[in-house]
Amino acid sequence: MKNKLSIFILSLITAVLFTACGDDDSTFNGPFRLNIAGSSEVRPESTHEYTIGDFTSADSYTWTVSGPATVSGSATGNTVSITFGEVGDVVITVTNGTDTGTFGVEVANTEPTVSVSYNGGGTLRTGEADTVFFEFDAPLALDPSFAMNTTDSTQFNGGTPFVSGSLGPLVKVDADSYYAIYTAGDGNGTSEALFQDIKSTATYGDVNIDSAFVKLYRVDNIAPVATIDYSPALAMDSTVITVTVTFSELVMAANPAVDSSLLISFANAGVATETDTLIATEDPLVYTYQYTLNGEGNGQVEVIVSNIADLAGNTSEISSYELVADNTAPGIDWYIDEFTGYAEVGFILLGMGPAEAGTGYYAVFPSGAAAPASLEEFENGVVSGTKQINAGTYVIYNVPLEAGNYNIYFIGEDLAGNMSPISSDSFTVN
């Protein structure tokens, strides 16, 4: 009896364990919810694609829509194109008969915001006329009110409208596209136009904008100007100079039929006359040129930037005389006072401009030593050095030395790089 009871209990445990294992092996076989990807907010009268991704048996999936929209093209497959109508809510549904997905889309109100475009560079001179183009983000239900702004302060004008020239009537091209002719008047500035009662069609939500200001062409009657900088501005023959020309406004070639480049020329002060092309940089207002000074004369080089016009057509020719050619070596003078243990030396450069500075080099050698033949050999002296010297001013310095007889050598160099011949003197330190 005891054995029978044990067998019964063991059988019961086995049955329970088998049942539990069977529950763990159960799986979910659907139906599944399909995920639809695409835009959840669209503008009226636009077309967008929606997809459920890559599935096998793509033709088994069928798409339908409810609300202001239609399926464009095939209504079966992994992907569908939907064309939306007026403002409202749309529900997109896809199914293969077993699995289903839905996706909500809002066909949103669209404000009839206005944008402006121009011909050319958007600038005119007095008496010139051109077309201003207006594009609205939504079709308009009716033509808006339109006139030049003569009184209102706007974000563009800082409180004082620029009123110049005349503005023709607004001409309709289609429901969201218009144009008008603007004729520039006197002065310099940008006139504005005022739109009022801008209302989109019912399809786009009947959205109304009370008023909107837009810029017209910029009136420009001022010729372009520029600053011309040189590095260095004082140079000797064969020096490479970086010329930087910075314009006050965007420019172009004044006579592109003859030459489409901005030109720069150099003359006077004994340099060879030459004309070349300015090089544009990443900054549209800045141009550069690498100029090698070619001439052994002295004086102000005439630099002319030409073939310039701004976007309104105002022409200009800009002259500069700030580049100076200097091919004359400076003169030098000095004095030496002898003391016990040192000598006091005064050194001056001659023949430089009143604001010019230069460099003085000196080297001391024992009496009887070979004289230096070049600036490089100055380093072989028992004492050597360099002094910055302003024009017309002595630089005074002490040279500590042991007792003996010495020779001192001098070279002067001006800012342009001209160097004087080596000069020398002798002295004794007790």
Q: Which residue has the tokens 């409180």?
A: 159
Q: Above 90 in pLDDT, residue 27?
A: no
Domain boundary among 263, 290, 325: 325
Domain boundary among 302, 325, 348: 325
What is the per-residue pLDDT for 9? Answer: 41
Q: Which of 228, 227, 194 is nearest to 211 (CA)?
A: 194
Residue 356 lies in a domain: yes
Give 12's pLDDT tier (boundaries 50, 70, 90).
very low
For the question of whether the overall pTM of this predicted structure is more than 0.85, the answer is no
Q: Above 50 in pLDDT, residue 146?
A: yes
Q: Above 80 in pLDDT, residue 13?
A: no
DSSP state of 40: S
Q: Above 50 in pLDDT, residue 171?
A: yes
Residue 5 lies in a domain: no
Q: What is the CA radius of gyration of the chain?
A: 43
- 78 plus 137 within the same structural domain: no
Q: By percentage, how much of the chain surpasses pLDDT 90?
A: 86
Residue 2 lies in a domain: no
Range 263-291 average pLDDT: 97
- 118 plus 214 within the same structural domain: yes
Question: For residues 86 and 203, is the Cβ–Cβ distance under 8 A?
Answer: yes
What is the per-residue pLDDT for 387? Answer: 94
Residue 213 lies in a domain: yes
H-helix or E-strand containing 4?
helix 2-24
Domain boundary among 267, 291, 325: 325
How many independent structural domains does the chain possess?
4
Residue 140 lies in a domain: yes
- 354 plus 306 within the same structural domain: no
CA pseudo-torsion sign 390, 393, 398, 399: positive
- 306 plus 353 within the same structural domain: no
Residue 267 lies in a domain: yes
Domain that holds residue 247: 226-325
What is the per-residue pLDDT for 19? Answer: 44
Residue 273 lies in a domain: yes
Residue 18 lies in a domain: no
Q: Above 50 in pLDDT, residue 132?
A: yes
Per the prediction, the chain carries an average pLDDT of 92
Q: Above 60 in pLDDT, residue 170?
A: yes
Bridge-based pairing state of the strands 274-277 and 331-339: unpaired
What is the per-residue pLDDT for 5? Answer: 39
Range 272-284 average pLDDT: 97
